[in-house]
Amino acid sequence: MTTPTDTQITLSRVMGNVEGNLLGTVHGGNIMKIVDDAAGVAANRFAQGPAVTAGMDEMVFLTPVRIGDVLHVHACVNWAGRSSMEVGVRAEVDRWDAVTPRVHVASAYLVMVAVDQDGATREVPELVVQTAAERRRHHEAEIRRRHRLARREEIASSRGVGE
C-alpha cells in the first residue's frame, strides 16, 4: 500500500552563477528543470518504473531566488489514475546570507504518465489516501484533472468544428 506521504521526496541544491539571469537572480527555467526532476523522482518511484512528463500547469513564481540560496524542491504524488499521476511540487529556499525561516518561492502541478520501454502507457499502483491533508490534495487534484481534460476536449472539438 502506498500513500501520498510515502511518495514525498526533496531535492536540494545551492544555486550557482550559471543558473543566473540578466538581473542576477536565478532564471525561472532552471527552477522549472529542478521542479520537473523532483516530480519525475516521485512519479518514477510510485510507478515502479519510468514516467514521462505529460504536462505542467499552475507553475507560480512567488519571489526571486538569489544566487547562493539553497533551493529545496518537495514533490508528492497527489492523485493517481490508470496510468497518469498528478504530482504537486513546492519550492522553498534558505537564504544564503541569513538564518531566517524558509521562503516559499514557487509551486506547480505536473501530470506524469507511466510508460513501458516502448513508450506505451502502463498501469500504476493504487494510491491510498488516509490523512485529511492527503484527502484535500487528492480532491483538488481531481478538480484540476477534470478542468485539464475538459479544456483539451473543448479545444479538440472546436478544431473539429472549424475544419
Ligand X SMILES: CC(C)(COP(=O)(O)OP(=O)(O)OC[C@H]1O[C@@H](n2cnc3c(N)ncnc32)[C@H](O)[C@@H]1OP(=O)(O)O)[C@@H](O)C(=O)NCCC(=O)NCCS
What CA–CA distance (Å, rounded) separates 117 from 43? 16
Q: Is 115 in the site for ligand X (CB under 6 A)?
A: yes
Q: Is 50 in the site for ligand X (CB under 6 A)?
A: no
Query: CB of 14: closest distance to ligand X in angstroms?
Result: 25
**Residues touching ligand X: how many (CB under 6 A)?**
16
The CA-CA-CA angle for residues 73, 79, 80, to 5°, reads 115
What's the full length of the chain, in residues?
163
Q: Is 54 in the site for ligand X (CB under 6 A)?
A: yes
Nearer of residues 106 and 113 to ligand X, judged by Cβ: 113
Q: What letter would DSSP give residue 63?
A: S
Touching ligand X, residues 75-114 (CB under 6 A): 81-84, 111, 113
Cα distance from N-terminal residue to C-terminal residue, the chain: 48
Q: Do 138 and 4 form a contact (C-beta atoms < 8 A)?
A: yes
Q: Is 3 in the site for ligand X (CB under 6 A)?
A: no
Nearer of residues 32 and 54 to ligand X, judged by Cβ: 54
Q: Is 38 in the site for ligand X (CB under 6 A)?
A: no
Nearer of residues 47 and 91 to ligand X, judged by Cβ: 47
Nearer of residues 95 and 148 to ligand X, judged by Cβ: 148
Query: CB of 77: closest distance to ligand X in angstroms?
Result: 12
Which cell is 158 given?
A: 472546436
Side-chain half-sphere of 52: how many Cα atoms within 13 Å? 9
- CA dihedral sign of residues 59, 65, 67, 69: negative
Q: Which residues bind ligand X (CB under 6 A)?
A: 52-55, 81-84, 111, 113, 115, 119, 121, 148-149, 152
